[in-house]
Structure 1
């Protein structure tokens, strides 16, 4: 038995003998659908915001000063979690930016509670939960342009992180 050799330039003639119809190659698989799990992305961003905000606050309270790169890290972590879990839905970068603002605010309040707890010789949770109105008033009194810069950096990092993680 001899096998026929396909004529040059005809890729479909492989193995086709005289009088046989050449077989077309199998079709390419369809492109993977774009991931878009908005609910999962929102939950991941919320959890990341709470955890990152708490860590940011503990770090800032422990050293008794704010760190700008840590606010960027908070924002990026929130955005990255949203993008990885939720995909490329266009709402996730915006929601991530908003949640990162809340996370940085929460972290700043935690830091103030830790610092006040050290000075008053009470636990930070007592200051946070039982004197929240006084804590927010101290936060308002301490506002400066640097605080708003930290907010802006965190929001930008969250927006960018969400876009990059979803790509």
Structure 2
């Protein structure tokens, strides 16, 4: 059963306010705001959030209702326990370090790549080739991880690049040469 048809229970440690198409969340880790589109109807009844499409015949309204349910559940996870992404650098000479609220990456290019770290996210580097990104907003954490990964995506021939922690790729065979 999809989240759209369920009622989302509000955790005890989180306060939710609904004001003019915006949901305001306040929890132990921080505050977040979610804008609600016009095609979605939202009700808070008995410590539960009920999300329904305004017109059940419109495909866009139904998909937005499901999307808003997933966003709300991600916000609850972020407010109760921080969202964490781990990236692993694999390759000779690949390393990372933090300087002046910027992440400096050496990825085999002739220059270093510098990424500015947003104020609401915390980034740490462990053992020069593992990057840990933490925050309460899953969208921002995932976006920063994707931006870092875009600089050197995993390469299937040599197994080099930036990987999510625990990610495995199947290596392709190289050229076999003349026979």
TM category (shorter chain) comes to under 0.3
TM-score (norm 1): 0.24
Higher relative contact order (CA 8 A, sep 6+): 1
| Bigger proportion of residues as strand | 2
TM-score normalised over the length of structure 2:
0.23
